[in-house]
Structure 1
Amino acid sequence: MHTSIIQIVGFKNTGKTTLTAALVKQLAEAGCRVGTVKHDGHDFDIDHPGTDTWRHREAGAHKIAITSPHRTAIMEQRPTLLKELLQQFREMDWVIVEGFKQERYPKIVLIRNEEDEALVKQLEQVVAVASWYPVSFEGLPVFAVQDSSGMAAWIQEERGRGVFALEEPT
């Protein structure tokens, strides 16, 4: 089966990271290979002053890779488009993307309060809602935000219908 993609989107403090981690756990326990991509609206840094890779960057390196027997990281001094990042995940069964609201891949929208509900209609490719309170949206399944096992079962079922196939958005 091909790589499948689902976006987890919502406003700040709606539980995106918690839900993403829970879905990763559920899908991994089901035997899926899962990758994640997270959008950070702020500047992040995984490098620390004094490390060898930090020294490389400070000296002017634009791209730095570090590898060990257990993991590899590549850092670039530029933003990367989601579609570019996704090319690195083609061997995964699932890619869960946290954030990138404006991208046009299938999305689960998290809502914590009534003001968040507008997001469901504003965004493209909304396939489900995860809510902190009872709510309904015509034509969309709604899950309690804590029901990661129900969401994981649902996305696996829908995956079989090709709903989440990773293709370039139109």
Structure 2
Amino acid sequence: MQPAISRSPLIFQIVGYKNTGKTTLVCRLTERFKQAGYKVGTIKHDAHDFQVDTPGTDTWKHQAAGADITAITSSVKTAIIKQQPEPLDRLIEQMTEADVILIEGFKAASYPKIIAIRSAADYELIQKLSCPLAAAVWPEAGSPAAANPVVPAIDINQIDQLYHMLLSLPKQN
């Protein structure tokens, strides 16, 4: 399958409780979309105050001095650091070149979701969230039969199956 021609990217969320494999799933789906020639953007929500810049670097010094926004660019990449939270929709708007955007977290957002399920207790998340597409299930989670017969359960290691399911969905606006 070839990358989308449309200007609107495909947007999907990967959600779940802590240590359910969300980051691994985002990375594996990113690799799969990249293999197919898509430009992929990723967005990560962190519930804690993360540290992205290494202490002692020039950009770290800029931030430590009180800069509200710091940008750095080189011949191969660019990064922007802001000292404020950014709404999900604003982050998405900044990914104009992406064909696909994979969002890790932001459970309350209303984009189509793959829910990572590592234990039987995690199945209840399917009923709590909007727009569930599928459950990416670890073998130790047990049978999903009673959890939600409408949301398909796919083995978390079946990346091709998840990839093809995402591509088969109607285009989002």
Offset at residue 116 of structure 1 (A): 0.6
Partners of 2:60 and 2:163 in 1: how far apart?
Answer: 39
Partners of 1:16 and 1:48 in 2: how far apart?
Answer: 25
Q: Partner of 2:14: helix, strand, or coil?
A: strand
Question: In the alignment, is residue 141 of structure 1 matched against residue 152 of structure 2?
Answer: yes
Structure 2 match to 1:113: 119
- CA deviation map 1:96-146 (0-9, x unaligned): 000111111110011111211110000011111111133232222210011
Q: Which amino acid aligns with 1:151?
A: L
Q: Which amino acid aligns with 1:28?
A: K
Partners of 2:96 and 2:144 in 1: how far apart?
Answer: 35
Offset at residue 48 of structure 1 (A): 2.0
Offset at residue 41 of structure 1 (A): 1.2
Offset at residue 30 of structure 1 (A): 0.9
Offset at residue 16 of structure 1 (A): 0.5
Question: In the alignment, is residue 156 of structure 1 matched against residue 162 of structure 2?
Answer: no
| Runs of 4 or more above 3 Å deviation | none
Sequence identity percentage: 41
- CA deviation map 1:65-124 (0-9, x unaligned): 000000000000011111110001132110000011111111001111121111000001
User: Structure 1: 5+ residue runs without aligned partners?
Assistant: none
Structure 2 match to 1:84: 90
Q: Partner of 2:94: helix, strand, or coil?
A: helix
Partners of 1:45 and 1:150 in 2: how far apart?
Answer: 34
Offset at residue 59 of structure 1 (A): 1.7
Give yes or no for contact 2:123–2:144 (8 Å, CA) kept in 1: no
Q: Which amino acid aligns with 1:63?
A: I
Question: In the alignment, is residue 28 of structure 1 matched against residue 34 of structure 2?
Answer: yes
Partners of 1:36 and 1:15 in 2: how far apart?
Answer: 15
- CA deviation map 1:18-56 (0-9, x unaligned): 111110011110111111001111111111222111111
Partners of 1:49 and 1:131 in 2: how far apart?
Answer: 38
Once superposed, what is the RMSD of the aligned Cα atoms?
1.1
Structure 2 match to 1:42: 48
